[in-house]
Amino acid sequence: MKDYKNIYFIGIGGIGMSAIARYYKFKGKEVSGYDRTPSELTGELEAEGIAVHYEDRPDLVPGTPDDTLVVYTPAVPSDLGELEHAREKGYRVIKRSRMLGEIAEGQKCLAVAGTHGKTTTSTLTAHILTSSKDGCSAFLGGISKNYGTNLLVSHTPVIVAEADEFDRSFLQLHPHSAVITSMDADHLDIYGDIDAYRQAFRDFASQVSDCLIIKYGLPIKSSDTPARIFTYSFDDPAADFHAENIRPDRLGHFTFDLVHPGGRIKDIRPGAPGWLNVENTVAAAALCLLHGTSPEEIAKAAASFSGVKRRLDVHLNTPSLTYIDDYAHHPRELSAAISSIRGMFPGRKVTAIFQPHLYTRTRDLADGFAEALSAADKLILLDIYPAREEPIPGVTSSLILDKATLAEKTLIHKEDLLDYLDKEPLDVLVSFGAGNIDRFIEPITTLLEKRING
């Protein structure tokens, strides 16, 4: 890639975009960008010396086509003034996914793909390598609680990347080794149907050169990839990598033995709670073992792993009142998270707040959402967060509410959420969603702390 002076990001506040922006700031480039609204993440970028503005201002695209590269996310509208300006003036304009692909070229890339589970698994993989003698750079789809960032940098030519299937972004990567955690239907507005969606994962598998680790039972065959295929599972003994002798404790953490083709690693206790993090640890450990990391380093790093913000993220935990926040926005993610929470807090009443993300996803997966959320004891539904989409007639959160089978359920506007919770008897409260529901984490925590403290 040409040695540009300026790197300009359109949609800089996205989790993937911000990691790349931070990377080029670290590399000494002049980095700046646009985003639609301020957020905690854009505030952090500004504090790190990256200029961010929040109005569509073509005049603020810096430099010239000779010295400036423009990177954009497909989440921004194609008719955005800044994007049109950059193209008309002859700037090189590339998608975020292509940029990540160019960064990964010439390095040993360890990638994690999947409908869900990829953020925690890739973050734990990066933590294991960073904690060991190996080291890595990492581009993560969430904020690591160990490091407080979505970017890790190292002089070691190893890169850990979250491989995002949205817009077929992950096909820009050609990993040395990779994990595929799941292939459940999503982004059908992009792919059209489940067959095309799964074919994209097979196309991704065909680009993996050495080792491919797949969740046991996924429809990937040896003919789909030149890589050696290994399987992993939470506890299925038929998988190459799986957990045995799984023991929960009263704090919601699990200890287990990892069985792998080379033997057994005893008494791994992930620092992040829930059975779901046992499965994520099995996947990350498999990737690191095949990379050459020692069993001792893996066990030690797993124990010190604090998790990822918004992934089974415990904000308040007392015997009488608990609050957890999670990014789950797909039925299978919701089902796994609620199951994991029930395992952490058996016998307690679980109240779920859910903000659906995207009209198309709500339309396509309403039945699955209703079934998954019915596993809670009470459901509080918020209106759909549209993100990049325009409303679809007849598609509202009521599609989910009407199909949900649990006895206690309600639909409220997010503006009324805090007042509603203030009057609600609560035991275990969990908020779910990929939209702006994260803006409620701090006020909900404060509200519940006041309740505990009288």
Q: Is the pLDDT of residue 412 over 70?
A: yes
Domain assignments of the chain as residue spans, ordered by start:
6-96, 106-304, 313-453
High-pLDDT (> 90) share of the chain, %: 88
Residue that the structure tokens 């793909």 belong to: 113
- pLDDT tens by residue, 24-48: 999 999 999 999 999 989 999 999 9
Q: How confident is the model at residue 255 (pLDDT cuts 50, 70, 90)?
A: very high
Give the distance from CA 325 to its chain's centroid: 13
Q: What pTM value is reported for the model?
A: 0.87
What is the pLDDT, as a whole number, of residue 390? 92
The mean pLDDT of 247-259, rounded to a whole number, is: 90
Rg (CA), the chain: 22
The mean pLDDT of 363-380, rounded to a whole number, is: 97
Helices 295-304 & 118-131 angle (0-180, nearest 10): 120
High-pLDDT (> 70) share of the chain, %: 100
What stretch of H or E contains 159? strand 158-163
- pLDDT tens by residue, 293-316: 999 999 999 999 999 999 989 999
Q: Per residue in 332-360, is it b (16+ CB within 10 Å) or e — as a string? A: bbbbbbbebbbbbbeeeebbbbbbbbbbe
Residue 9's alpha-carbon distances to 19, 51, 141, 223, 236, in angstroms, are 11, 10, 17, 39, 44
Looking only at the bridges linking them, the beta strands covering 254-260 and 242-248 are antiparallel
The mean pLDDT of 175-185, rounded to a whole number, is: 94
Helices 331-344 & 359-373 angle (0-180, nearest 10): 30
Q: Is the pLDDT of residue 146 over 80?
A: yes
Q: Is the pLDDT of residue 1 over 70?
A: no
As a whole number of angstroms, the distance between CA 412 and CA 425 comes to 17
Q: Is the pLDDT of residue 185 over 90?
A: no
The mean pLDDT of 256-271, rounded to a whole number, is: 97
The mean pLDDT of 48-67, rounded to a whole number, is: 97
As a whole number of angstroms, the distance between CA 97 and CA 167 comes to 9
63-67, 121-125, 270-274 — which is least confidently predicted?
A: 270-274
Structure tokens at 278: 């046992």
For 38-186, where are the alpha helices, taking DSSP H only? 40-47, 81-88, 96-104, 118-131
Q: Is the pLDDT of residue 251 over 80?
A: no
- pLDDT tens by residue, 121-134: 999 999 999 999 88
Q: Is the pLDDT of residue 5 over 90?
A: yes
Residue 393 DSSP symbol: T
What is the pLDDT, as a whole number, of residue 387? 86
The mean pLDDT of 180-184, rounded to a whole number, is: 94
Structure tokens at 115: 């409908």
- CATH 1.25.40.10 assigned to domain 6-96? The reply is no
Q: Which fold has domain 313-453?
A: Protein-Tyrosine Phosphatase; Chain A (3.90.190)
Are 286 and 213 in contact by the 8 Å Cβ rule? The answer is yes
Looking only at the bridges linking them, the beta strands covering 30-34 and 242-248 are unpaired
As a whole number of angstroms, the distance between CA 415 and CA 27 comes to 42
- Which architecture, in CATH terms, is 106-304? 3-Layer(aba) Sandwich (3.40)
Give me the residues paired with residue 160 across strands. Answer: 110, 138
What is the pLDDT, as a whole number, of residue 201? 97
As a whole number of angstroms, the distance between CA 374 and CA 285 comes to 33
What is the pLDDT, as a whole number, of residue 74? 87
Q: Which of 144, 164, 156 is nearest to 22 (CA)?
A: 144
96: number of Cβ within 10 Å: 26
